[in-house]
Amino acid sequence: MSSANEPSNKPASEPGRPVLVPWWRSLTFRVTAFYLLVALALFAATLAATRWATQEALRAYRQDRLREDARRAAAQLARGDDLRRLGRPGYLVRVGRAEVTLLRSGPDGAPSDEQLARARAGSIGQPRIQSIRTTTTWTVASVRVDAERVLQVGIDNAIHDALARQLGRSLSWVFAILTLVAGVLGVLLLRRALRPVARLSRAAAAVVQSGDLSVRVPKSGRGDELDVLTDLFNEMLDRNERLVRGMRQTLDHLGHDLRTPLSRLRVAAEVALGGDEEQLRDALADVVEQSEEVSAMLNSLMELGAAEAGLLNLERAPTDLRQVVERVVDVYGHVADDAQLSLAVDAPASLVVPGDARRLQQVLANLVDNAIKYSRPGGRIEIRLSREGPEAHVRVCDEGLGIPPEHLEQIWERLFRGDPSRGGPGLGLGLSLVRAIVQAHGGRVSVESRPGEGSCFEIALPAAEPAGTIEQS
């Protein structure tokens, strides 16, 4: 029979159907859409900032160029150079005295003389920059040539604005292509990164669809958070598989172990219905006995469930383990004699622990009962008590059949029973209950065993400060 601890190598892809969700609800789409929106926002902000920076750079260049041209033209005019040589293609050049225009050249659409006459001029050699609006916007540099004349040089901003718009369009295409590439790469990378999640989904679907808890999800081997999630998922399946297997074993064992008392109850009832008064009394006594046996089985299951859930009620008090051992020996001494076994105790005068005396007696009784059950006639069972530092240790050793190495971990599991031919009947709850009660006391329990030579169970509990023997009620 396979063990609950045996690892399973069944891949997550068998069985199981793909877990499909609408594409607009998929994690890949939502994450990709989110980052594309972020990318678009960043691209738009970058485009706006680039366009603004370009326009500012062109404006500064335009103004510096106009100042330089205005200074040079004013110097040429002051030297008496030919005024027709002051203009450039696309430039507006005007020389005026007050509102009288002495010279004007420039393209159509340039500011009128009246608009230029209203522009304030800077001092000699210090051009003043202004913007004048017509059908387009012109930048005009006005500088005084002398006390009477004013020279004005201007250029249409549309030329530089068109350059900025062209640059914006080019950047828009670049950003659009980058966004498309980023979207495609994002989908591919996300699908690759989410493969472990898809495997988890297929494994969960396989479990839901077929009820097969042996399905496990392979790890990617990258050691990332998804590998950690895969480990936790597989561990959860391991525990669920052990739990379900334990429940099935519970039903099997209950069905097997309750069959005999229930059959005897039925036989007793049939005898009572058709027998005389003496047979009726015997039948009722048998019914009581079998009912107590069934009740004990069910109570053991309930106690184990409460202990494993951390709900076991413990009446803690200073407890002398020597007195607990003596009570157990009083109960099981005759049982050991009947099995031709010697039961010995090696204990100090007193060894006190804070605990529930009744529960600790139940633990020790289980261990002694197992030792008797699995020992050969003529063997020896020894109970040893000792204090080791802050801990009290209880050892129950026998010279019995021993435990196979492959079962040393499984014996603590609920309802585990080894080879039925090696011991007596039972539900396999004793050692599970022992461990649960010991752990509820803040202790631990372990076992060493060699097949054919015997076993030694050891319990370690927090010990109380030495204060003499504690009387038990």
DSSP 45-107: HHHHHHHHHHHHHHHHHHHHHHHHHHHHHHHHHHTT--GGGS--TTEEEEEEETTEEEEEE--
Pairing of strands 122-124, 137-144: parallel
Average pLDDT over residues 77-96: 71
pLDDT confidence band for 38 (50 / 70 / 90): confident
Average of per-residue pLDDT values in the chain: 79
* pLDDT confidence of residue 461: 94
pLDDT at 151 over 90: no
Domain 317-462 has CATH 3.30.565.10: yes
Strands (E), 298-379: 317-320, 342-346, 352-355
**364 near 325, Cβ under 8 Å?**
yes
Residues 281-326 have pLDDT tens digits of 777 787 887 787 777 767 776 776 666 666 667 888 999 999 999 9
Beta bridge partners of 137: 133
Average pLDDT over residues 75-102: 72
pLDDT at 109 over 60: yes
pLDDT at 15 over 60: no
pLDDT at 327 over 70: yes
Q: What percent of the chain has pLDDT over 90?
A: 16
Distance (Å, whole) CA 376 – CA 422: 11
Residues 360-404 have pLDDT tens digits of 998 999 999 999 988 989 999 999 999 999 999 999 999 988 888
The number of beta carbons lying within 10 Å of the beta carbon of residue 163 is 13
Q: Indicate the residue type of 182.
A: A
Average pLDDT over residues 422-436: 67
* pLDDT confidence of residue 296: 72
* pLDDT confidence of residue 86: 56
pLDDT at 425 over 90: no
Question: According to CATH, what is the number of the domain 225-308?
Answer: 1.10.287.130
Average pLDDT over residues 75-82: 75
pTM of the model: 0.46
Q: What are phi and psi of 394, to 5 degrees?
A: -120, 125
pLDDT confidence band for 351 (50 / 70 / 90): very high
Angle between helices 27-78 and 158-193 (to 10 degrees): 160
* pLDDT confidence of residue 4: 39
pLDDT at 206 over 50: yes
Residues 157-180 have pLDDT tens digits of 887 888 888 888 888 888 888 888
Q: Characterise 378 by phi-psi region: left (phi > 0), alpha (psi -120 to 50), beta (else).
A: left
Residues 130-145 have pLDDT tens digits of 888 888 888 898 888 8
pLDDT at 344 over 90: yes
Q: What percent of the chain has pLDDT over 70?
A: 83
Residues 269-283 have pLDDT tens digits of 777 777 677 777 777
Distance (Å, whole) CA 422 – CA 436: 25
* pLDDT confidence of residue 256: 67
Q: Is 434 helix (H, G, I), strand (E, B) or coil?
A: helix
Domains of the chain, by residue range, sit at 1-206, 225-308, 317-462
pLDDT confidence band for 73 (50 / 70 / 90): confident
pLDDT at 468 over 50: no
